[in-house]
Amino acid sequence: MLIHAAVGGVGHLVVQSAGAGGPYVIGTAGGGKHDLPRELGAGEPVDYRTADFAARANDVDVVPDTLGGDVSTRSLDVLRPGGTLVTIVPTGFEDDAGNAAEPGVRLAVLLVEADRAGMRAVADLVAEGKLRLHVDAAFPLAEAGRAHVLGETGRTTGRIVLTVR
């Protein structure tokens, strides 16, 4: 499995969830952030700034993609025949669904829908210590603008949290 932004707000949770199921995980992250994906279960962090993930990963079963654009398109090339690219960034990528079918891979656009069974499964992973949220920064709700500016830097590790009294 190749997980992009493996230390991001969603990516670090996907790394842990994948680790609970046992697949080998390759995770992209900046070079200074490789300790966290390893700690969370990634077998091989790749510095996306200095290495091409497509040269390091091949015959991958699943690529969960939270970045979209060129990363999504290039991720199609690392999938094995029958593999799946799951993206949560559908804008503009639907046009590549035909390209995904050519090499025999599947494209899935995922939109989150909360359901009782899914939320219970996540709660169970948290209770068992198999899933933990890494909080990079917390801001009071009144400082939501500062939190947003920090999020736009792309340099956070884990989640940015707003606290409400």
Handedness of CA 72, 7, 130, 22 (dihedral sign): positive
pLDDT at 12 over 60: yes
> What pLDDT digit, counting tens, does each position of 54-75 carry?
998 989 999 998 888 888 888 9
Domains and CATH numbers, the chain: 2-130 (3.40.50.720), 134-165 (no CATH)
CA nearest neighbour of 109 among 92, 126, 125, 124: 92
> What pLDDT digit, counting tens, does each position of 114-165 carry?
789 988 988 998 899 888 888 999 999 999 999 999 988 878 888 999 999 8
φ/ψ of 51, rounded to 5, equals -135, 145
E runs forming strands in the chain: 2-3, 26-29, 44-47, 60-65, 79-87, 106-109, 135-140, 159-163
**pLDDT of amino acid 116:** 92
Task: Look at strands 26-29 and 2-3 and give their pairing.
Answer: parallel
pTM: 0.80
| Structure token pair of residue 9 | 């707000």
> What pLDDT digit, counting tens, does each position of 87-128 carry?
888 655 555 555 555 568 888 887 777 789 988 988 998 899
Strand partners, 137: 160
**pLDDT of amino acid 72:** 86
